[in-house]
Amino acid sequence: MTSTPLSGQILRWPVDKDSRSFHVFVVEPSRFDPTKHRAIFYGAVTTLLRPEVKSQDIFRTDETLPQIERFDLITFPEAFLPADDLVEALTRISSYDRLGCIHVGLRSSFDATSHLIGVEEFRCIIARLSEIADSTDLQPITGWLDNQVASARFNVGCLFSIDVQGKLRVCLHPKMVRSQFEVSVVSDNNMTEGTLLSLVTLLPGSKKYLSVTLQPIICSDALLLDVDHIGRTPLNCINSDDANSFTEPLPDHVDLVSVPACTPQQVGGVTVERFRKWHEEFCATFERVGKGGAWHRHFHATFVIANFLAIPDTTASEPGVPGGLSGGFIPTPFGNDELPPFAQLSAFGKDQDDPNNRWSDPASKLQATFSSRGYIAHLTPEVTDDIVAKMLGFRITAFPRDTPQWRKGNPSTLAQFDLRTGRYDASGSVYFTRREK
């Protein structure tokens, strides 16, 4: 019996770029609650698209210039936005001249209790998006979907942007690795593993800047888990013979992996001082990227991950299990700086008296004796009753492959952290305000 054939889609989007840094936001809802996700999505996107009023002349306050904050990527969690709300949002956004990339996990609009999307609903989503977006982007997934069985149920993500020509660009991609929560005795709740690999290359208008290749995946796609067809995980496939599934030439490097997630995190420390730390399966992936080996296209890849602060626990009476730690991983040393109170880091490296590498416990800075090789920087997991979501912003100063190896102190790092906190206003909308410290 032969394996189901893989397909590959690589999309190339011209983007407006005026520096080699990459400005990222991750949105972390306080709870997994689909009734609130639409308001959080609109609140977060509107915050960045709404101009901040700045004084044109420090001696004159009657004249102002609107300044829209530029961003390159916003990542939301997995199973987040109902498909109908996505189409509505893209219809509104399509009139903008420019827009950075936004990556979000989708939910079914046919079945409010499920995040899985059936083939007919999937076709309907594509048809509606084809009316407002560049239809060439949707041709690969249309052809792929035509070859799927009618009973299939997919977990779907969407990456979209508006390019330098004012065109709405859309990449729909199915999850390829089923998590333990997507296995069910009920067929409608059992996820069908996708067989479509996806890459998006962002091409700056100025040729002095390097292109950026982004791989959009979903949560357990990043892990080395068992799958129906052994070894067919998105990170493996891009680096193996499965890469031949693409009919076009592939870029030599994947610079950025964007991961909408809905994953419980581990809890460490003693009873008095407990802390959350990134799940060991994700840490194993980060180590494999940094150490090298089979994933030659990902040797220098940076990961951006958005997660829910609390994940529902269907097996207990508790309101949720610990999640959170939304942020980014970069395979470069951290240094001696201290992060602001709303952020922490966990680094991979070693203490001077310990010959073995390990992950450090989360903290705002590294101990002076710890030598890091790469690190995860993420939101501090704080529960606040009136905050419905947090949005962490940071810059990738330069991607690792875009930095000289001889320069003392690697200039490729995560920097310029800032936090926006989201609350409800009187109308029921979510608004985000910047936290200065």
Residue 81 and residue 136: Cα distance in Å, rounded?
24
Q: How many residues does the chain have?
A: 437
Query: What is each CA distance from 424 to 327, 365, 387, 389, in whole angstroms?
Result: 23, 33, 8, 10
The DSSP result for 230-250, as a single string, is TT--HHHHHTSGGGGG-SSPP
Contacts 24+ apart (CB under 8 A), 225-228: 225/177, 225/178, 225/179, 225/281, 227/176, 227/177, 227/178, 227/193, 228/178, 228/193
Q: Per DSSP, what are the bridge partners of residue 157?
A: 105, 173
Ordered by where they begin, the domains of the chain are: 18-49+68-435 (3.60.110.10)
Kindly give the confidence (pLDDT) of every residue in the chain, 437 residues in length, as a single tens digit, with 9 standing for 90 and above.
Answer: 356 789 999 999 999 888 899 999 999 999 999 999 999 999 999 999 875 544 444 444 444 444 567 899 999 999 999 999 999 999 999 888 889 999 999 999 998 888 999 999 999 999 999 999 999 999 999 999 999 999 999 999 999 999 999 999 999 999 999 987 877 655 567 899 999 999 999 999 888 999 999 999 999 999 988 888 888 999 999 999 999 999 999 999 999 999 999 999 988 876 556 789 999 999 999 999 998 888 999 999 999 999 999 987 654 444 578 999 999 999 999 988 999 999 999 999 999 888 899 999 999 999 999 999 999 999 999 888 899 999 999 999 999 998 887 777 667 899 999 999 999 999 999 999 997 66
Query: What is each CA distance from 111 to 33, 34, 119, 282, in whole angstroms?
Result: 15, 12, 13, 30
Residue 435 and residue 437: Cα distance in Å, rounded?
6
Collapse the DSSP code of 217 into the 3-class scheme (helix H, G, I; strand E, B; otherwise coil) and give the result: coil
Write the single-letter amino acid at 415.
A
Collapse the DSSP code of 267 into the 3-class scheme (helix H, G, I; strand E, B; otherwise coil) and give the result: strand
Collapse the DSSP code of 119 into the 3-class scheme (helix H, G, I; strand E, B; otherwise coil) and give the result: helix
pTM of the model: 0.93
Write the single-letter amino acid at 94.
S
Alpha helices in 197-325 (DSSP H): 234-238, 280-291
Q: Which of 336, 226, 20, 97 is nearest to 347 (CA)?
A: 336
Dihedral sign from CA coordinates of 211, 417, 302, 162: negative
H/E segment holding residue 61: strand 60-67
Two tokens, residue 213: 């290749």
Q: Which of 76, 80, 87 is nearest to 115 (CA)?
A: 80
pLDDT of residue 96: 87
Collapse the DSSP code of 327 into the 3-class scheme (helix H, G, I; strand E, B; otherwise coil) and give the result: strand
H/E segment holding residue 140: helix 139-145
Q: What are phi and psi of 275, to 5 degrees?
A: -145, 155
Two tokens, residue 88: 């509505």
Pairing state of beta strands 73-75 and 22-29? parallel
Residue 257 and residue 222: Cα distance in Å, rounded?
9
Dmax (CA) for the chain in angstroms is: 77
Residue 368 and residue 290: Cα distance in Å, rounded?
22
Q: Per DSSP, what are the bridge partners of residue 358?
A: 349
CA dihedral (231, 237, 239, 245) in degrees, to 10, reads: 140
> Alpha carbon 344 to chain centroid distance?
18
Do residues 103 and 86 make contact, with C-beta atoms less than 8 angstroms apart? Answer: no
pLDDT of residue 260: 98
3-state DSSP helix/strand/coil % of the chain, to nearest 5: 20, 35, 45
